[in-house]
Amino acid sequence: MRVSTSMVFDAGVRTINNQTAKLLELQQQVATGRRIVKPSDDPVAAARALELTQASDVIEQFSRNRENAQSSLALQETQLVGVGELITRVRELATQGGNGTLTLENRKAITAELRARYEELMGYANARDGNGKYLFSGYKGDTRPYGGTVETGVQYFGDDGQRQLQVSPSRVIEISDSGKNIFQRIKNGNGTFVTGAHTGNGGTGVIDGGAVVDPSKWADPNNANRSYEIRFWVDSGQQLSQPGKTYYDIVDVTDPTNPLSVNTGGAPDSDPTSGTFSFAGEYHSGHAIALQGSGAGGVPPPIDLGANVIVTGEPASGDSFTIEPATTQDLFETLGTLILDMEQTSANEGDQALLANRIGFALTNLDQAEQNILRVRAMIGARLSEVDSLESINADTKLQYQEAISNLQDLDYAKAISDLTRKQTDLQAAQQSFVQISRLSLFEYL
């Protein structure tokens, strides 16, 4: 084959250029720390690294979502801690207000603070997050959830929704709670039944919130959704020959034929076959009154609600107290009613006893509200704990992604430096050999 001078020069330059290109490629790898500078360096590894990078970016977005979730939940927790402290203070004020030795001026000072606490409660219920959204308005983050006054009552303008954030590929978590579930859907009374005092009572009797001692008996379908009264009467000496002693009857006002529908202020029935009932018992202040009755002659059958109440003081003849199934009462209503009751009470003995009863009812309802706040806080705490656990898990996952990406595209510096040195030697050899070969010409020997 004929080799021309131009071919020698072309081949030499081409070889030097190839060596220079390879040296430059290695230099770029060393400079960037990446084995894959462009996808063509390793198409399969480049594609896999891209997939892992996208997955890692998704994990990073979930991490930001978890930070936002933690912020919202922690803010709710802070507000509810404030509500709990407010309830504690209201309970203290209510207890002070029930002191019979207080003057009307003393009680006005207490109700003034209670009104301030009412406004404070409104502030907690209408709290906003860092984005200006209302915390307790459900999905209606731009709608102020609560409005109203002590006199008019409070109205809720939000809904039952719970705003959510996706905090992991498989988990969506609630970051808000409806105000209805926090401030309104609260069982009143002891959570099972509600005691009350008739406004016409003239004695000093005060009833407590009552207690269920046997839930299975209370849950008996025959006892469901019934209302009762405890009616007091004083023996004149003609009924039981116990003049001056106080007795009570328990009456089913839902169904007068119910076994608890005993006499309503009269003497016990002397005919054991008539199917009516004797008086329920002799009254002793502070002693438990069992909500049960036994039929005369066994007709109708005995009944037992598995519950009792305690009345203290001296009920007047004709005084009565109610026992009704528990419903719901919002915290605003509990506090507002307490304020109005304390502001409207006169100094006479009957009104003082009625106030003592109503304060007792308010305290019982406040206990239920506090339990509901604790329940919601427990749910928020569980969500916060879950977010923390997910953060730990996803941090490990992100680390694994980073390790896999590093294995695919990061440079082995020891090998790269060795290759770079070798390529420098190759390039120098090519350059030096080209210099020698380029001098091989006939003209050198003429």
Q: What is the pLDDT of residues 311-353, one digit of tens each?
A: 999 999 989 999 999 999 999 999 999 999 888 866 666 678 8
pLDDT for 110 equals 93
pTM reported for the whole predicted model: 0.75
Mean pLDDT of 39-49: 67
The answer to whether the CB of 98 falls within 8 A of the CB of 355 is yes
3 state SS of 410? strand
Mean pLDDT of 103-117: 90
The answer to whether the CB of 213 falls within 8 A of the CB of 308 is yes
Is the pLDDT higher at 68 or at 104? 68
Residue 107 has pLDDT above 90, yes or no: no
Mean pLDDT of 275-292: 75
Give the pLDDT band of residue 271 (cuts 50, 70, 90).
Answer: very low
Give the pLDDT band of residue 268 (cuts 50, 70, 90).
Answer: very low
Nearest-CA neighbor of 311 among 357, 258, 262?
A: 357
pLDDT for 297 equals 43
The answer to whether the CB of 76 falls within 8 A of the CB of 177 is yes
Give the pLDDT band of residue 303 (cuts 50, 70, 90).
Answer: confident
Give me the phi and psi of 53, to 5 degrees please: -65, -40
Give the pLDDT band of residue 2 (cuts 50, 70, 90).
Answer: low
Q: Which range is most confident: 265-274, 303-312, 404-413?
A: 303-312
Task: Read off the pLDDT of residues 211-225 as tens digits, 9 standing for 90 and up.
Answer: 999 998 888 887 778
pLDDT for 398 equals 74
pLDDT for 426 equals 66
Rounded Cα distance, 258 and 86, in Å: 43
Give the pLDDT band of residue 256 (cuts 50, 70, 90).
Answer: low
Element (H, E) at 347: none
Rounded Cα distance, 333 and 123, in Å: 16
Give the pLDDT band of residue 361 (cuts 50, 70, 90).
Answer: very high
Give the pLDDT band of residue 81 (cuts 50, 70, 90).
Answer: very high
Rounded Cα distance, 103 and 124, in Å: 32
Residue 443 has pLDDT above 80, yes or no: no
Rounded Cα distance, 150 and 332, in Å: 8
Q: Which range is most confident: 27-31, 185-189, 393-397?
A: 185-189
Percent of the chain with pLDDT over 90: 40
Beta strands at 246-252 and 228-234: parallel, antiparallel or unpaired: antiparallel
Is the pLDDT higher at 168 or at 266? 168
Q: Show Cβ contacts of residue 48 under 8 Å, excluding neighbours closer than 6 positions.
A: 408
Residue 109 has pLDDT above 70, yes or no: yes
Residue 63 has pLDDT above 50, yes or no: yes
Mean pLDDT of 136-165: 93
Tokens for 317?
């003849």
> E strands within 107-159?
146-149, 153-156
Residue 35 has pLDDT above 90, yes or no: no
Mean pLDDT of 42-46: 68
pLDDT for 379 equals 94
Nearest-CA neighbor of 145 among 155, 158, 135?
A: 158
Q: Which range is most confident: 92-96, 167-171, 290-294?
A: 92-96
How many angstroms separate the Cα of 4 from the Cα of each of 7, 434, 441, 445?
5, 15, 11, 18
Residue 70 has pLDDT above 70, yes or no: yes
- Of the given ranges (174-188, 191-205, 230-244), which has the lowest mean pLDDT? 230-244
Give the pLDDT band of residue 266 (cuts 50, 70, 90).
Answer: very low
Rounded Cα distance, 71 and 178, in Å: 17
- Of the given ranges (44-53, 108-117, 122-131, 170-179), which has the lowest mean pLDDT? 44-53
Is the pLDDT higher at 432 or at 142? 142
Mean pLDDT of 75-90: 96
pLDDT for 252 equals 81
Residue 72 has pLDDT above 50, yes or no: yes
Mean pLDDT of 293-306: 62
Residue 288 has pLDDT above 70, yes or no: yes
